[in-house]
């Protein structure tokens, strides 16, 4: 027995350690996955995004209404959410403060979204409304006797939490119209899973924002239930909001079910980068509006000066509003999120490293798109460093981000060999791609290839020879080494410097025709 033990302790354990080491290496290799973002510039999602904000719990902290609202307008916002506090009577003088703020906001061009506050009507030491959720945010005088309230109700009048719905409707109408003063929307339930009857009995003609569940993953199901009795479908995102990977699918599902707004973006409470990261999946999912929670104090201080996240949000808004629909984006990690917009020949890329380690995010352009590798611009917030390099002749952008960093990268010279307007309309016919029956990629004659004396001849059939041709040559690393515009010709001859050697990519543009060809220079 002792001999066996000694044998295992020497040879056997050594062998086992070797096997274990190899296993760890293999396992480690499986764990290391490149952080990739796929961008489809030719595929639009939704119709474009605008922004608003919220002062529902923090309005009474504001010391300068005019300066605060001006800052919101300077950001390009067009909506502010203000509170309805069910525990206050409809004539409560505190509504005078809300009305004063709302009137100033409307004077600045902000629309008013009046929403029931998750509050018991009391105040915290910092001046914010105190929290109360579910039935606790409604007073006994609004509830049926069977729910512990003071109201006599029949079965059709009794709603969520035992509220007498006609009583609540009368209160809301009086407060929103007479006290706050003609808001543009009302949100009567805010995070509460209300039924069709709970909405329909509150209708007096004011547009209603509904669903607004805290749980984004279930919001598409809620829209299927109440979508017919509300005007705007909103959703929050508190469920698993540290895992933004699943949010891309959830926001797409919500939009498909009829959802419109991200009504409570909250993660600026953690950091600038995480606040932006919380928004990007919603943008990529096609939300029409994003409301940033507690705009005071997170974006603007109570006195109207800039808050801690103002500049980053300003960057996001200025490089997304007015740019049309977001482009389709796919990500493979919860900490590295992105959104993209196409504006003419520019691609506006918003990318965040919400994690705790420096990472290189590989942004791969799909559908044959490439960008110029020169003339790009980068702005960063929240972190220390951002580096941008290119590969695959401008088809891949490598964005190196330090932890908790948001970067906005504007890339120039965006074009594709397949000029895709909408991928669901593409038909493949042989080697050609077609959109709606129109030829968008024609064969291009290129000779000789390999090129031995620096002279390249191009024949481009099927296009108008009267249109000018733009020819650009890139190295395989994406560096532009030749560019020329030729006015009118069917057969084109160009001469490049003889010192250029190896694999290159030739980009040819004539009107709507865009072609990319591999070229070997010897």
Do 35-42+328-416 and 49-321 have matching folds?
no
Query: Interior CA angle at 120 toward 117 and 262, to 5°?
Result: 20
- CATH for 49-321 is 3.20.20.80
Over range 361-387, report the average pLDDT.
91
* Residue 64 or 193, more confident: 64
Q: What is the pLDDT of residues 396-451, one digit of tens each?
A: 999 999 999 999 999 998 877 654 333 333 333 322 333 332 333 344 566 676 77
Q: What is the pLDDT of residues 229-273, one digit of tens each?
A: 999 999 999 988 778 999 999 999 999 999 999 999 999 999 999
Helix (H, G, I), strand (E, B) or coil at 304: coil
Q: What dihedral angle (degrees, nearest 10) is formed by the CA atoms of 161, 167, 173, 179?
A: -90
Q: Are strands 185-187 and 346-353 parallel, antiparallel or unpaired?
A: unpaired
| pTM of the predicted structure, to 2 decimals | 0.78
CA 55 to chain centre: 22
Over range 29-39, report the average pLDDT.
68
Q: What is the architecture, at CATH level 2, of domain 442-521?
A: Sandwich (2.60)
Average pLDDT, the chain: 84
Closest alpha carbon to 440 in 462, 418, 424: 418
pLDDT over threshold 90, residue 463: no
35-42+328-416: CATH topology? Immunoglobulin-like (2.60.40)
Of 93-97, 287-291, 448-452, 462-466, the poorest mean pLDDT is in 462-466
pLDDT over threshold 50, residue 460: yes
pLDDT at residue number 300: 98
User: Residue 180: which pLDDT band, with cuts at 50, 70 and 90?
Assistant: confident
Which residues, other chains included, contact 332 with Cβ-Cβ below 8 Å and sequence gap of 6+? 33, 35, 36, 37, 245
Angle between helices 272-284 and 310-318 (to 10 degrees): 20
Q: Are 208 and 188 in contact (CB under 8 A)?
A: yes
pLDDT at residue number 277: 96
Domain ranges for the chain: 35-42+328-416, 49-321, 442-521
């Amino acid at each position: 027995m002792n001999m066996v033990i000694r044998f295992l302790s020497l040879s056997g354990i050594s062998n086992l350690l070797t096997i274990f080491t190899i296993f760890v290496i293999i396992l480690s290799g499986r764990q290391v996955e490149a952080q990739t973002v796929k961008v489809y510039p030719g595929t639009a999602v939704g119709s474009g995004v605008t922004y608003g904000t919220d002062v529902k719990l923090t309005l009474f902290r504001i010391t300068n209404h005019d300066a605060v609202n001006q800052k919101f307008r300077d950001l390009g916002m067009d909506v502010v959410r203000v509170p309805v506090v069910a525990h206050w009577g409809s004539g409560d003088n505190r509504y005078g403060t809300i009305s004063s703020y709302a009137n100033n906001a409307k004077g600045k061009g902000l629309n008013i979204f009046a929403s029931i506050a998750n509050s018991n009507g009391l105040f915290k030491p910092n001046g914010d409304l105190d929290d109360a959720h579910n039935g606790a945010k409604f007073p006994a005088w609004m509830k049926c006797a069977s729910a512990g309230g003071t109201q006599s109700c029949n079965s059709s009048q009794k709603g969520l939490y035992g509220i007498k719905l006609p009583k609540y409707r009368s209160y809301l109408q009086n407060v929103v119209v007479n006290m706050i003063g003609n808001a543009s929307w009302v949100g009567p339930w805010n995070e509460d899973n209300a039924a069709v009857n709970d909405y329909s009995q509150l209708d007096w003609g004011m547009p209603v924002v509904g669903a607004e569940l805290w749980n984004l993953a279930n919001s598409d199901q809620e829209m299927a239930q109440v979508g017919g009795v509300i005007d705007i479908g909103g959703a929050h995102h508190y469920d698993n909001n540290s895992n933004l990977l699943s949010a891309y699918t959830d926001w797409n599902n919500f939009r498909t079910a009829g959802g419109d707004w991200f009504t409570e973006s909250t993660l600026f409470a953690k950091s600038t980068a995480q606040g932006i990261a919380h928004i990007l999946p919603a943008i990529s999912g096609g939300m029409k509006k994003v409301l940033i929670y507690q705009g005071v104090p997170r974006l603007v201080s109570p006195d109207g000066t800039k808050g801690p996240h103002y500049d980053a949000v300003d960057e996001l808004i200025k490089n997304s509003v007015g740019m049309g629909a977001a482009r389709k984006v796919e990500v493979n990690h919860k900490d590295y999120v992105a959104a993209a917009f196409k504006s003419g020949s520019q691609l506006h890329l918003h990318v965040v490293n919400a994690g705790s380690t420096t990472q290189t995010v590989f942004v791969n352009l799909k559908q044959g798109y490439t960008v110029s590798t020169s003339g790009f611009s980068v702005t960063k917030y929240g972190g220390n460093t951002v580096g941008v390099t290119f590969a695959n002749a401008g088809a891949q952008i490598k964005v190196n981000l330090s932890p908790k960093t948001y970067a906005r990268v504007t890339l120039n010279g965006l074009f594709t060999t397949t000029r895709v307007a909408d991928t669901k309309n593409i038909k493949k016919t042989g080697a050609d791609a077609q959109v709606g029956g129109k030829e968008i990629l024609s064969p291009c004659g290129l000779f000789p290839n390999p090129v031995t004396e620096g002279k390249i001849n191009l024949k481009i059939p099927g296009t108008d020879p009267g249109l000018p041709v733009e020819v650009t040559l890139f190295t395989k690393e994406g560096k532009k080494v030749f560019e020329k515009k030729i006015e009118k010709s069917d057969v084109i001859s160009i001469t490049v410097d003889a010192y250029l050697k190896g694999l290159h990519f030739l980009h040819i543009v004539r009107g709507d025709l865009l072609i990319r060809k591999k070229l070997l220079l010897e």
